[in-house]
Structure 1
Amino acid sequence: MFKPHPLALFLAASLLAGCQAVNTTSGGAVGVERKQYMFSMLSTEQVNQMYAQSYQQTLSEAQKKGVLEKSSPVAKRVDAIARRLIAEVPAFRPDAAQWAWEVNVIDSPELNANCGPGGKIIFYTGLIEKLKLTDDEIAAVMGHEIAHALREHGREAMSKAYGVQMATQLGSAVGIGDGSLQLANMGVQYLMTLPNSRSNENEADLIGLELSARAGYNPNAAVSLWQKMGAAGGSAPPEFLSTHPSSSSRTQALQQTIPKVMPLYQQRR
């Protein structure tokens, strides 16, 4: 019968003592209720500030290259959709209404969009133009990205990475062998990082679906969005080793949830 190393138990207890279980958002109509474990010394404010600095650097570089869209039709379109979605964030997280939200568009062929910690949104024109996104589909992407910020998935990932780093350093200090450390790291990767990453994506899908519905955007657009994404992405890696669900499982989960949020959309029509 396997018996854990006493020092490993001490190490695990020390790491757990630095964590706190939180639920960053309310469940909403979609019912996202998973508890999240965050390192107490890594605060929301710290992560938001760190990301804000990186965000401003990205905007500065885009400005120098002349690709930061400010008053173009696409920039105005994205900004208008963002404002409607941001107005609905108190349904999940009231304090997020006070975040210093920013919305910017970069003229780039990348199929990408992001909302970082603290509400810093970037959209790339390639995503809109290459996939010919409707306003409803833009809202689906943006709602998904905003949900990541509301749930503090970035801080959660940083907490996990910090825990692995601390475990490695402390383990080496107390004399746990390299083989045990490698095994521990592998366990963290497969039992924590990857499953939680899939959970994070699912949470962002569901919360994003509700945000877009509350803002008056058709939630069915989330399905057509990911169908377009799947067609553009080509062959996907096996779901078990992927940090993102396959397009088929993703669209299936969305289709099952749409009836829960459709009344919210119909109220806004």
Structure 2
Amino acid sequence: MSTLRYKGSAVLIKIIIVLLVNITFVFPHAYAFNLVNLGGALIGITAQYAELNKSIDYCDNKGRNEYFAKMKKQYGVDTDPVKNEILKNIVTRLSAAIAQNDPSINEKPYNYFVNKDKNFNAFCSLGHNLSVNSGLFDLLKNNEDEIAFVVGHEMGHGQENHIKKGIKKSLPINIIASVWGSQAGSTLEVMGIDVLVKQADASIVTKPQEWQADNLGFTYAVGAGYNPGAGAAVWQRFIEKMGQYRSNFVGEIFSPSDHPSEIDRRDNYANKLTKYSNGHMTVKNGIIKINGKLFMQAASRQIMSGRERAYLIAGAVAAVYHNNKNIPDAYVGSNGYIYMGDQDICIPIAGEESAQTLVDRINMIK
């Protein structure tokens, strides 16, 4: 327990007492507030902080597996083999990428599971305990590249201890609520593991933390070999499919003044895609440009809009520019795909120009 935390408790106590004394002075016959009982409750605040911090630290470290078991019981487990295999592969690849620069992940590897919730969501809680909603896999059609950016975002929260910091930051609100509750004869509640697990998916991260998690998620995902355009593609799909009934990632609320908007997040990922390509690739409204010149306009197919698809195609080309000093020529493979060196770019669909036309254009403007 830090000195600052104790001072914060003392200030809180003083504020409440001053308010209550003033109310009593103005309304001398109002006895709704029992100052004797209140005094006893306030004396326990410092102890409450200490106990709550113990619970948080326990769930984040020594008791994280116990916390994880209760998370699974709280939210339910989806045993779908396809979804679980995708999540296992993603966490394995992302963890390896993170470990290259942050080996601490090896000391506290992530626990993870697919939960039964059909809403579009994922969350990382205390102790590197992570869960992805079944509904997120459904909305993204089990697209591993796109799901990896969501999971990478959550692991960004985990690596930076955003959830632990957020819970501790919210403590004063919980303490005040407990103090007022004590006026009705209740006692200050000690929030243990059973209470904390119910807050596993709570929205307690800040706007800067959301941006940090997005940026880290991009680094983790591309470091693990996922499509650099998939982050922008996720948000494009989210915007198109969810509309006013959307449900965001952990920490998100619907007020743009408090958290990044969906469009801002998509555009942030699109800008990162351009930077990743060393400035060669841009995407806007489904139009892909290379070196400022039109490459193609992506068409829609049954399960994906042209705008979403454009980010994925551009991501594949961006990887070529990022990984090669000498950009290889494009060609049409025997399977009908467009390739640049060993990198598959796309296979044209109805509404797009032929593979050979697009190959000729790439080689002219690259």
Which interval holds the TM-score relative to the shorter structure?
A: 0.5 to 0.7
Cα 1:165–1:89, aligned 2, differ >3 Å: closer, same or farther? same
* 1:207 partner amino acid: L
Aligned twin of 2:256: 239
Aligned twin of 1:68: 78
TM-score normalized with structure 1 length = 0.64
For 1:95 and 1:109, how far apart are their aligned partners in 2? 33
- Kept after mapping to 2: 8 A contact 1:209/1:222: yes
For 2:6 and 2:82, how far apart are their aligned partners in 1? 55
Q: How many residues align?
A: 209
Structure showing greater Rg:
2
- Kept after mapping to 1: 8 A contact 2:115/2:131: yes
For 1:91 and 1:15, how far apart are their aligned partners in 2? 39
Question: 2:146 matched to 1:140?
Answer: no
TM-score normalized with structure 2 length = 0.48
Cα 1:234–1:262, aligned 2, differ >3 Å: closer, same or farther? same
Aligned twin of 2:268: 253
For 1:259 and 1:164, how far apart are their aligned partners in 2? 42
Aligned twin of 1:15: 8
For 1:228 and 1:123, how far apart are their aligned partners in 2? 17
Residue range with higher mean Cα deviation, 47-56 or 211-220: 47-56
Q: Which runs of 5+ in 1 are unaligned?
A: 1-10, 17-38, 171-193
For 1:201 and 1:261, how far apart are their aligned partners in 2? 21
Moved over 3 A (4+): 39-47, 49-54, 60-63, 163-170, 235-238, 259-269
For 1:168 and 1:103, how far apart are their aligned partners in 2? 32
For 1:216 and 1:87, how far apart are their aligned partners in 2? 11
- Over residues 174-207 of structure 1, what are the superposed CA-to-partner deviations in whole Å (9 max), with x where a residue is unaligned? xxxxxxxxxxxxxxxxxxxx99711111111000
Q: Percent same amino acid among aligned pairs? A: 22
Tell me the CA shift for residue 249 of structure 1: 1.2
Q: Which runs of 5+ in 2 are unaligned?
A: 10-48, 180-202, 247-253, 279-317, 325-342, 344-366
Q: Which of the residues 28, 44, 58 maps onto 1:46?
A: 58
* 1:154 partner amino acid: I
Tell me the CA shift for residue 61 of structure 1: 5.3
For 1:102 and 1:222, how far apart are their aligned partners in 2? 23
Tell me the CA shift for residue 150 of structure 1: 0.6
Tell me the CA shift for residue 95 of structure 1: 1.1
- Over residues 182-238 of structure 1, what are the superposed CA-to-partner deviations in whole Å (9 max), with x where a residue is unaligned? xxxxxxxxxxxx997111111110000000000000121000101122233323844
Bigger relative contact order (CA 8 A; separation at least 6): 1
Q: Indicate the RMSD between aligned Cα atoms, in angstroms.
A: 3.7
Cα 1:165–1:73, aligned 2, differ >3 Å: closer, same or farther? closer
- 1:214-229 alignment runs, 5 A limit: 214-229=223-238
SS of 2:141's partner is coil
Cα 1:262–1:54, aligned 2, differ >3 Å: closer, same or farther? farther
For 2:89 and 2:123, how far apart are their aligned partners in 1? 16
- Over residues 125-181 of structure 1, what are the superposed CA-to-partner deviations in whole Å (9 max), with x where a residue is unaligned? 2111133241110111110011011111111112211255678999xxxxxxxxxxx
For 2:157 and 2:127, how far apart are their aligned partners in 1? 10
